[in-house]
Amino acid sequence: MISADGLRKTYGGFVAVEGSTFEVDSGEVFGIVGPNGAGKTTTLKMLAGLIEPTGGSATVAGHDVATTEMRRHLGFLPEESPLYEEMTATSYLHFFADLYDVPRDVADRRIDETLTDLDLEHRDRRIGDMSKGMTRKVAIARSLINDPEVLIYDEPASGLDPLTTNYIIEFTSDLADAGKTILFSAHNLFHVESICDRVAIMNDGAIVARGGLEELRREHGERRYHVYTDVEVSGATSEGGQYHSVASSMDAVEAIREAATDRDGRVLDIRTEESSLEEVFLNVAEREQATERTREA
């Protein structure tokens, strides 16, 4: 549903995005993560048709991103989304429904259902009098008014309180379950990890790693084994009458088992711990920094 091939954006001599190539399949949730200035927002805006690429090509729902037709299939939520503050939520959404030629009865039903799903109270309150969380929900509802197949969300929960943040992340997950194709960026990697099928990591305008979470963990993360024994072995710490050791491989686990057996003890439990997406991201970032230092040396 989303395809980017060698997508590039430069401003004078500054390269904001360099040769990004990726695809987002129908019904997939695809996350883009990276530090500030990595090129995430520029990439999303090019895909949404708001910024013209310097090079490469991209399509959304089979339509070139430069075409008007593409926008009928897309719902876009920018990180900063100023709304018409003098309007109420309902009148604001009807305004955008008219822009998309959504029939009045369909718009009435869609607006009511979406605002109910978003748990937005006071929908007839003036937008300028709403909280940030409420206005964010209105902006999300606006992105859905044309019932698009594809959603591009830039930091959908940016700057919101934890309760509203969790609600919006859960709502985004529900949209994916309903069959929407979603591409989004977020600084909170826990949220990305909780709902994404695949992830691309950007740094200095380029995609430096991509894949499913398990694939990224295998390539850039670590697997640790927490081994609990009933006797003390070398390097173990005492925890509640047991002894806790950390091993990085099954060979090391076997060595701990043998050490416990030699002391007439045994292994009580083994728990596996995978790297979080945040740890994977930090490992990739450190690798990129080391590569850059090598180039400069």
pLDDT digits (tens, 9 = 90+) for 130-162: 999 999 999 999 999 999 999 999 999 887 888
Averaged pLDDT, 8-22: 94
Tokens of 227: 């081994």
Cα separations (Å) of 283 from 155, 274, 275?
23, 14, 10
Tokens of 16: 């904001």
Of residues 207, 208, 198, 180, the one with CA closest to residue 60: 180
Of residues 9, 136, 11, the one with CA closest to residue 77: 136
Rounded distance, CA 208 to CA 202, Å? 6
pLDDT (0 to 100) of residue 272: 85
pLDDT (0 to 100) of residue 109: 96
Per-residue pLDDT at 293 exceeds 70: no
HEC per residue, the chain: CEEEEEEEEEECCEEEEEEEEEEECCCCEEEEECCCCCCHHHHHHHHCCCCCCCEEEEEECCEECCCHHHHCCEEEECCCCCCCCCCEHHHHHHHHHHHCCCCHHHHHHHHHHHHHHCCCCCCCCEHHHCCHHHHHHHHHHHHCCCCCCEEEEECCCCCCCHHHHHHHHHHHHHHHHCCCEEEEECCCHHHHHHHCCEEEEEECCEEEEEEEHHHHHHHHCCEEEEEEECCCCCCCEEECCEEEEEECCHHHHHHHHHHHHHCCCCEEEEEEEECCHHHHHHHHHHHHHHHHHHHHC
The architecture of the domain spanning 2-217 is: 3-Layer(aba) Sandwich (3.40)
Supply the pTM of this predicted model. Answer: 0.80
Cα separations (Å) of 150 from 9, 28, 75, 93?
22, 10, 6, 19
pLDDT (0 to 100) of residue 74: 97
Of residues 192, 180, 148, the one with CA closest to residue 200: 192
pLDDT (0 to 100) of residue 30: 96
Tens-place pLDDT, residues 22-59: 999 999 999 999 888 889 999 999 999 999 999 999 99
Per-residue pLDDT at 291 exceeds 90: no
Tens-place pLDDT, residues 234-260: 999 999 899 999 998 889 999 999 999
Averaged pLDDT, 182-207: 89
pLDDT (0 to 100) of residue 290: 67
Residues 6+ apart with CB under 8 A from 220: 209, 275, 280, 283, 284, 287
Residue 210 contacts residue 203 (beta carbons within 8 Å)? no
Q: Which amino acid is at 288?
A: E
Q: Higher-confidence residue: 194 or 256?
A: 256
Pairing outcome for strands 63-64 and 223-229: unpaired
Residue 121: CB atoms within 10 A of its CB come to 11
Averaged pLDDT, 211-226: 85
Tens-place pLDDT, residues 93-126: 999 999 999 999 999 999 999 999 999 888 899 9
pLDDT (0 to 100) of residue 7: 95
pLDDT (0 to 100) of residue 278: 78
Indicate the average pLDDT of the chain: 91
pLDDT (0 to 100) of residue 167: 87
Tokens of 162: 């934890």
Domain boundaries, the chain: 2-217, 223-274
